[in-house]
A and B are shown apart, each in its own frame.
Chain A
Amino acid sequence: MSLSRQRRFVTPGPDETVEELALRAMPDDPVPEAVDRIKSWNLHIFAMRRPPGLLLGSDVVFVEPPLS
């Protein structure tokens, strides 16, 4: 049985920064814009994380907006 399409995500690599992750996940986009979009799609990470900006290996990082 095939799975229905769901929102795409990646998990951060060891010590990977959001910029590096953006470059990996969205290589065709300019990094600043890609970072901006990733933040807006992943406020569960960027709004409340202590310390701020820390990416964790177990994080689910969406690389596209919510699907309709």
Chain B
Amino acid sequence: MFDVIVRGGLVVDGSGTPGFRGDVGIKDGRIAAVGKVEGEARTIVEAGGRVVAPGFIDPHTHFDVQLLWDGAARPALEHGVTCIVPGNCSLSLAPIRAPDRQRVVGMFQQIEEMPPEAFTTAFDWNWEDFAGYRAAIEKSLSINVAPLVGHSVIRLWVMGPASQERAATSEEITAMQALLRECLDAGAVGLSTSFVDVDENGRPVPSRFAQFEELDALSAVLGEYGRMLQVVPEFYATDITIARIDQLAELSLKHNIPTTFSPLFDTMAVPDNATRAIARVEEHFARGARVWPQMQTRPIDISFSLLRPSLFFARWPRWVRVLRQPLDARETALRDPETVAKLIADTGPDGGEHSMGRLIARGGDACPPELVGKTLSEIAKIRGQAPAQALIDLSLENGLDVAFLSASQGHQMTDRIGPMLANDLVHIGASDGGAHLSSFSTYGDTGYLFSEFVRKAGAMSLEKAVAKITGETADIWGLKDRGRLQPGLAADVVVFDPEHIGRGEERPAFDMPGDGMRYVRSAEGIDTVLVNGEVAYTAGAYTDARAGKVCV
């Protein structure tokens, strides 16, 4: 008697080998049989016409805080993600001494854009060490979690405020090593560090004050456990990225550890950025180092409002001059007919139709709901105005708090990115799930992999795409119990429609503590998600299952 049989689907098992028609039998949270499965089960999941795959693994998220009130890391789970890696970019929610909490909250808010209520009302912060954080999230997990511990908080624990002022002494480095060991013993999947992040005051986060010798010493501890070092390097600066790759390779070889850097972007502004970085990675892999570049699937959008000056307007200096003024003066200028006439003229003889018409009005702020999702061109037609005039007037009518989106402004060339994502040495990830909440949605990247790079572009096979975000990811991170539909392994399973899986439309949601807003995408083409053998999501709804665990 099985607990669950997923019957009659195309089994794509995460190994990259061709899919086959078959069943998956599950017992006691583990995969018990794959193939033609005979027998009975308490639950039958019919999967005819669907793909049955291992649950997806998202290796770059910032769900650290959200997990304390939402054990599903919504909407990650409904997109088929059954395992997330929080704690990236040097920041985790432990170990942190109570007096240091506010300092770390500022850093988190800078990255996540989480409302302050998330830290003051949404959970009871009653732990300091990593084991305490683990216990706090494990109470109600419905998704699996492989948490990184952040270098910045380790540094802060040992050095206090000096962690953002100076290099560590040898005694302090020894203390950090001991603390890292404690975190790894408590279930951390590795260490994250950052070379770019700043706190809410613009000051570099603690990890950036570390000498290479400190990172080397911490990597030695990772070597004792064979665990991951994750870093976030400088963006679009290829020479620096290559320098970081060289540093990671040195640490990987010396301590026999896997390393990963994220994100790696493609951009036509620096067309050889990603290809040079990948070429360097290939050189290091040939020497035995493991340096995994993480590349996201989704393109990058630019978002702005007239509340503050944006470089989006850099081609029109008069706009920049107007928007740079204090709020009152700015609004006065935007109401002055003579000024507005010049602003509109600057955007072209068509009143901005060509240069602005494709901007999309976003929800989540003061934008009238009926206009959310419409292009500025459509809004202009409704209002009987030129697009530039409509942008100004709509903004003025709503306290300038109307956000516009310029979609796919970077990392958007599918024909260039597809082959890179398919490269065996490129790690698909870098979703940033749970971060940048009020700027854009960080969910559904796995669906986009299938809709854009498998179905539309044919850049890789279905089996390859599944393997990239399941079996290969589990191998890279040393998650020995995950990533494949194989008897004995944990039963993390996603059933999806290969013809319809996608990332979903971006929409505002007000489900953060304090009615805080974030942009989300609801799943498309996902039928059922099982976590450790229990149905966690099916038929468009989450269940009460709480079978997730810290899975390191």
Interface of A with B (CB < 8 Å)?
Answer: 1, 3-4, 6-7, 9, 11, 13-15, 44, 49-51, 54, 56-60, 62, 66
- A-B complex: 7 closest residue pairs judged by Cβ atoms: A14-B167, A57-B211, A50-B202, A60-B243, A1-B286, A56-B208, A7-B239
Which B residues lie within 8 Å of A50 (CB)? Answer: 198, 201-204
Known: A6-B246, A44-B234, A50-B202. A60 touches B240 (CB 8 A): yes
A15: B residues at CB distance < 8 A: 166-167
Please indicate the chain B residues that have their CB under 8 angstroms from the CB of A66 in the complex. 239
B207 on the A face (CB < 8 A): yes
Contact of B243 among A9, A14, A54 (CB under 8 A): A9
What are 17 pairs between A and B in contact, CB < 8 Å? A1-B286, A1-B287, A3-B246, A3-B283, A3-B284, A6-B242, A6-B246, A7-B239, A7-B242, A14-B211, A50-B204, A51-B203, A56-B208, A57-B210, A58-B208, A58-B215, A60-B243
Interface residue tally for chain B (C-beta within 8 Å) = 30
**Known: A1-B287, A6-B280, A50-B202. Is A57-B242 also a contact (CB below 8 A)?**
no
Interface of A is mostly: loop
> Does B195 sit within 8 A of A, measured CB to CB?
yes
**Knowing that A1-B286, A54-B204 are A-B contacts, what are 6 other residue pairs whose CB atoms are under 8 Å apart, sorted by A's residue number?**
A9-B243, A50-B198, A51-B203, A57-B210, A57-B211, A58-B208
Any A CB within 8 A of the CB of B237:
yes
B243 partner residues in chain A, CB cutoff 8 A: 6-7, 9, 60, 62
Chain B interface (Cβ within 8 Å of chain A)?
166-167, 193, 195, 198, 201-204, 207-212, 214-215, 234, 237, 239-240, 242-244, 246, 280, 283-284, 286-287
Give min CB distance, B199 to chain A, whole Å. Answer: 10
Tell me the bound Cα distance from A56 to B207 in angstroms.
10
Chain B min CB distance to A15 (Å):
7
- What A residues does B246 contact at CB under 8 A? 3, 6
State in angstroms the CA–CA spacing of A56 and B167 once bound together: 9
Contact B167 A1 (CB under 8 A): no
Cα–Cα distance between A56 and B287 once the two chains are bound (Å): 30
A57 touches B167 (CB 8 A): yes
Question: What is the CB-to-nearest-CB distance from A56 to chain B, in angstroms, rounded to a whole number?
Answer: 5
What is the bound-complex CA distance between A66 and B284, given in angstroms?
21
A58 to B287, Cβ gap below 8 A? no
Task: Pick the most buried of B244, B283, B284: most chain A CB atoms within 10 A of its CB.
Answer: B283
Interface centre among B204, B237, B280 (most CB of A within 10 A): B204
From B193, B209, B283, contact of A56 by CB (8 A): B209
A3–B239 alpha-carbon span in the complex (Å): 15
Q: A3 vs B284: C-alpha distance in the bound complex, in angstroms?
A: 8
Shortest B462–chain A CB gap in Å is 34
